[in-house]
Structure 1
Amino acid sequence: MPSSPVASTSSIPFDPARLDEINASLADASPQDVLTYAIDFIPGLFQTTAFGLTGLAATDMISRISRKRKQPHAVPLIFLDTLYHFPETLDLARRVEKKYQLELQTFRPPGVETVEEFEKKYGEKLWETDEDTYDYLVKVEPARRAYDTLGVKAVITGRRRSQGADRATLEPIEIDSTGLVKVNPLCRWGFQEVKDYIDMAGVPYNPLLDQGYKSVGDWHSTVKPKDGEGERSGRWASNKTKTECGLHKDYFAMKRAFEKKQLEQARAAADKARGDEEVGESSVDLSQETDATSQDLGASFSDLKLGA
């Protein structure tokens, strides 16, 4: 392990105010070094995973660090079950649990456990009719619920610079708008480096990759990238401009947008129940509700801030 990260951080715990200094000290660190630093100095650390190659490599590295220390798997795993994963992904989740002797903390969309329940409550093919709401329900809300339930202060991600778009300038450690610390241990690796590690270490991976897929999400939106297309270009078949599912977007903006839509729907339903032909005045005051919601957001997730 290079001496710089240890020398500069070993005497004190993680301090968000020193983020630039810490990232500078990790500039030449290997993924294993970044993970070791995170395990030792960042509190409330979990790994969120959809069992992509990069996340699997990180899980294997954590396992090796843990075994070397003769400890159980050092970082608990959170799996967001969207209910629309490929069967191969769900089978991989079970294999990872068994191989690394860990228990997945699984979270699903609010109030439902099956596809049938989801579509009855939220509508069929919601990813086509309202993609932002779909992302909020299957990824963003379950993630925040997981963080609140489990006391998560930091997460290990599978993001890499080579994936492009918003990820092109990733640092090993970042802090988002909610105060959540995001550790990106393989941010400097390319796809081939990750795949080489997977093969070398004998890490189980999704068999769909052998069929030409490179980034696997929900079955209804994932296609094989064409020759010359980027690694994540097949992730959202119907939306070529999309680069993130919502987990790494502005959480507060997504929550406000979702709640505004809910209020609009409630207003429309109230108008219809009164027999109004057109949407007019309503007992639902949308502006006041939205303002109150905005004020509540900071308090709702204040416990996510480091040191809370």
Structure 2
Amino acid sequence: MLDQTLDARAARLNERYKHHAATEVLRRALNDPDLGRVTLVSSFGSESVVLLHMVSVVAPGTPVLFIDTQMLFQETLDYQVEVAEKLKLTNVRVVRATEREVALNDPDGTLHQFNTDACCDLRKTIPLERELSQFDAWITGRKRFQGGQRTELQFFESEAPSRLRINPLAHWRSQDVQDYLAENNLPRHPLVAKGYASIGCAPCTSPVKPGEDPRAGRWRGSQKTECGIHFIGGKMVRTGANA
């Protein structure tokens, strides 16, 4: 009998697809019985349209989870609608904290000013986990060139206790992303032209200067570089310029 531990499943999948390109990894993963129910989690940020386009070509009915923290830029909300319509994505699900959760934990909307981790837990991590509990695996846009713990990223990785992550763009370079955007004439997030390289919530995101790490504009001035969505071994991984 095959070893069914998460790590063993991830290793088996990485061996199976190690010579495949990103689109083929995605195409096959969406139909591989070893992965079960799969969803794409998307921020509809600066590079998100690459994976969204790939999904629209391969399987446009794939569930797409969009986390609306209720603190996003209006440009992001508008861009989400534009991209979903342009790519004909038919199963975009908006994920939010409940009104009761926000009323209990952040009634005046100032939690981010003194406890960014708690704010991200409330508005991102907990609502997303609630939705992801319905799935066996999820697709992310993480890439090795983003640095930190991501430098050794594989196509498939385990997420305890019972889920797998799929990283089709793990081996891509920054230029590969730009080439794909141009070759497919994909719409860019409007804030990219204003210097925003990595786009999150409006209060905690700022433009980056030439030569800065792309994630330097997230939670600028603090040690925080991850919202809590990405974990390894059940622990939040700090990556990027401030790690």
TM-score (norm. length: structure 1): 0.68
Query: Alpha carbons of 1:120 and 1:186: their partners in 2 closer, same or farther (altered >3 Å)?
Result: closer
In structure 2, the partner of 1:51 is: 44
Query: Alpha carbons of 1:250 and 1:160: their partners in 2 closer, same or farther (altered >3 Å)?
Result: closer
Give 3-state SS (helix, strand or coil) of 2:218's partner.
coil
Q: What amino acid is aligned across from residue 242 of structure 1 in structure 2?
A: K
Structure 2 unaligned spans of 5+ = 237-243
The CA deviation at 1:88 is 0.7
Answer yes or no: is the 8 Å Cα contact 1:51–1:205 preserved in 2. Answer: no
In structure 1, the partner of 2:92 is: 104
The CA deviation at 1:28 is 3.0
Query: Alpha carbons of 1:152 and 1:210: their partners in 2 closer, same or farther (altered >3 Å)?
Result: same
What does 1:109-120 align with in structure 2 at a 5 Å threshold? 109-111=97-99
In structure 1, the partner of 2:228 is: 246
| Structure that is richer in helix per residue | 1
Question: Which of 200, 205, 212 in structure 2 is aligned with 1:229?
Answer: 212
Question: Which of 101, 107, 113 in structure 2 is aligned with 1:128?
Answer: 113
Q: Distance in 2 between matches of 1:175 and 1:95?
A: 33
Where relative contact order (Cα < 8 A, 6+ residues apart) is larger, the structure is: 2
The sequence identity of aligned pairs, in percent, is: 30
Does residue 1:174 correspond to 2:162, yes or no?
Answer: no
Q: Distance in 1 between matches of 2:147 and 2:54?
A: 24
The CA deviation at 1:132 is 1.5
Question: Which of 170, 192, 202 in structure 1 is aligned with 2:175?
Answer: 192
Q: Distance in 2 between matches of 1:123 and 1:77?
A: 30
Which entry has the higher C-alpha Rg, 1 or 2?
1
The CA deviation at 1:119 is 8.8
Does residue 1:202 correspond to 2:193, yes or no?
Answer: no
Q: What amino acid is aligned across from residue 26 of structure 1 in structure 2?
A: Y
Answer yes or no: is the 8 Å Cα contact 2:38–2:138 preserved in 1. Answer: yes
Structure 1 unaligned spans of 5+ = 1-11, 67-72, 255-308
Q: Distance in 2 between matches of 1:167 and 1:64?
A: 27
| Structure that is richer in strand per residue | 2
Give 3-state SS (helix, strand or coil) of 1:48's partner.
strand
TM-score (norm. length: structure 2): 0.85
Q: Distance in 2 between matches of 1:253 and 1:163?
A: 19
Aligned length: 230
The RMSD of aligned alpha carbons is 2.5
Deviations 1:158-196 (A, max 9, x none): 111111122221110111123221110001112221122
Give 3-state SS (helix, strand or coil) of 1:79's partner.
strand
